[in-house]
Structure 1
Amino acid sequence: MPPKISGKAAKKAGKVQKNISKSDKKKKRMSKAMSIMNSFVHDIYKRIAAETSRLAHYNKKLTITSREIQTAVRLLLPGELAKHAVSEGTKAVTKYTSSDDHNNMKGGKRLFSEPENV
């Protein structure tokens, strides 16, 4: 015969179950929100890449530079949002180039050697 559960214990168990189900609902909501944001970022990235490629092609350039990317962002994003995006992008590139990561170092050796002057 299973032990009897007192009224307080049953009440606590009910509250715990209710909190767990609230937590599950919150996790599902957050997961859905993250999925939507991921789709949004992926879509914007694809649009910027396509526009950047078009700009390079129009200008008969084989290399995509930060200039083409900035122009694509300015064309695709409205007003103030474009200004902030370009500003943050420039800041990120500056931070990266001032770090050691941009030297392509691995185990103390460069992965790509500098071209030799002949």
Structure 2
Amino acid sequence: MPPKAAQKTPQTGGKAPAGKAPAEKKEAGKKTAAPSGEKKKRTKTRKETYSSYIYKVLKQVHPDTGISNRAMSILNSFVNDIFERVATEASKLAAYNKKSTISSREIQTSVRLILPGELAKHAVSEGTKAVTKYSSSTK
């Protein structure tokens, strides 16, 4: 008797149910050992996104508003882009000052260099507030 094909779960057309965050990818990219004669199953590689965090912030600001998968993808790309820019600039600043560690000072300076005017001021104040809150909770 031939081996049975793996059953697939039905998809919902790429849309998340109303009122719920888009599901993130499951399982790390591992190959499972199979008995002799059968093909190995490949699981999907895990894709880490900021979707759940973006969704939580959206619900804090506008509890009755939803977000499409495309808009979520755009916001996720935006967060990744800003993160990469800040990290690159902070790395350059640390190298200029001959330091091997990126501290909050390098992050703050890189944010001031990358973001324009008022946006940089708000980002720095929110970042400082977050670091202060974290420091007080760990003591």
TM-score range with shorter-chain normalisation? 0.5 to 0.7
CA distance in 1, matches of 2:82, 2:91: 14
Residue 63 of structure 1, CA deviation: 1.3
CA distance in 2, matches of 1:67, 1:31: 35
The equivalent residue for 1:50 is 88
SS at match of 1:98: helix
1:36 to 70, 74, 91: 74
Measured against aligned partners, the alpha-carbon deviations of 1:23-47 in whole angstroms (never above 9, x if no partner) come to: x6x96x6111111000000000000
Name the structure, 1 or 2, with higher relative contact order (CA <8 Å, separation 6+): 2
Q: Which runs of 5+ in 1 are unaligned?
A: 1-23, 104-118
Aligned-partner residue type, residue 87 of structure 2: A
Q: Quick check: which has more Rg, 1 or 2? A: 1
TM-score (structure 2 length as normaliser) = 0.51
Runs of 4+ in 1 over 4 A off after TM superposition: none
The equivalent residue for 2:101 is 63
Counting helix residues as a fraction of each chain, which structure ranks higher? Answer: 1
Superposed CA RMSD: 2.2
Residue 64 of structure 1, CA deviation: 1.0
Aligned-partner residue type, residue 122 of structure 2: H
The equivalent residue for 1:85 is 123
Q: Which runs of 5+ in 2 are unaligned?
A: 1-14, 19-66
SS at match of 1:61: coil
